[in-house]
């Protein structure tokens, strides 16, 4: 695998983990509307 692909995958995993951590640490409950928006953003 090329170095560029490695960096791309690491960047994706970093952003995914960062976003997941923000969601889990959120003080707000995920309302159905927020959950739907979240699902749409992740697909």
pLDDT digits (tens, 9 = 90+) for 7-35: 999 999 999 999 888 877 776 666 777 77
pLDDT (0 to 100) of residue 32: 73
Half-sphere exposure of 36 (CA within 13 A, CB side): 3
**E strands, the chain, where?**
none
Q: Which residue has the higher pLDDT, 40 or 12?
A: 12
pLDDT (0 to 100) of residue 1: 60
Closest CA to 19 of 38, 6, 34, 36: 38
Q: State the pTM of this model.
A: 0.56
Residue whose token pair is 């995993």: 13
């Amino acid at each position: 695998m090329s170095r560029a692909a490695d960096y791309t995958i690491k960047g994706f995993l970093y952003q995914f983990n960062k976003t997941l951590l923000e969601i889990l640490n959120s003080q707000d409950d995920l309302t159905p509307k927020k959950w739907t928006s979240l699902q749409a953003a992740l697909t």
